[in-house]
Amino acid sequence: MVMVATRAAALVMALLAVSLVVSSKQRGTLTIFCIEIPLDADWSFSYSLQFLVGMSAAAAAYSLVQLLLISHKAVKKVSMIPSRRHVLLLFAGDQVFSLAMMSAGSAAAAVSNLNRIGIRHTALPNFCKPLPRFCDLSAVSIACAFLSCVFLATSAVIDVIWLSNL
């Protein structure tokens, strides 16, 4: 039952990360020395946010497949604890997707932080003042990506417990 909850939570967090990033589009204007510069923020302009969307979608698909396999076993009334080889594959998949989500969240967090504070050694300003919705939705989606990473890592720990009991 714990495995179902962790996989469902990982699925929900990954889907939230995708939907929040994809919906975070905004237009604004930035004023520098009385010159108004139009800004257009979209997730597809940033490679790190594209990576976050791709990894979150892949992690959501992986979690959904695992949930479907668990529900299929529940309907057939088969033992929920699979064979040793299957648990090793689950462990490897959970580890790969957990680390991929951590990587995607970290890459997106770095870019989001630059947008929020600006670059001090150049005159690049804080882009989050004229684009607050974009920055806030990006930050929440990054948090969801990290939570998905935690739930996938928890699934990997459960896999290790299953392996120790086989």
Mean pLDDT computed over every residue of the chain:
84
Place of tokens 């990506």: 145
The reported pLDDT for the residue numbered 143 is 94
pLDDT band of residue 53 (cuts 50, 70, 90) is very high
Q: How far is CA 67 from CA 57, 82, 143, 144, 165, in A?
A: 15, 14, 23, 19, 22
Predicted confidence (pLDDT) per residue in 136-159, tens digit: 888 899 999 999 999 999 999 988
Residue 119 — very low, low, confident or very high, per pLDDT cuts 50/70/90? low
Q: Find, among 77, 28, 53, 64, the residue nearest to 138 by Cα.
A: 53
Sign of the dihedral through C-alpha 31, 37, 42, 44: negative
Q: What pTM was computed for the model?
A: 0.83
* pLDDT tens column, 88-118: 888 999 999 999 999 999 988 887 776 666 5
User: Residue range 2-18: average pLDDT?
Assistant: 92
pLDDT score of 98: 95
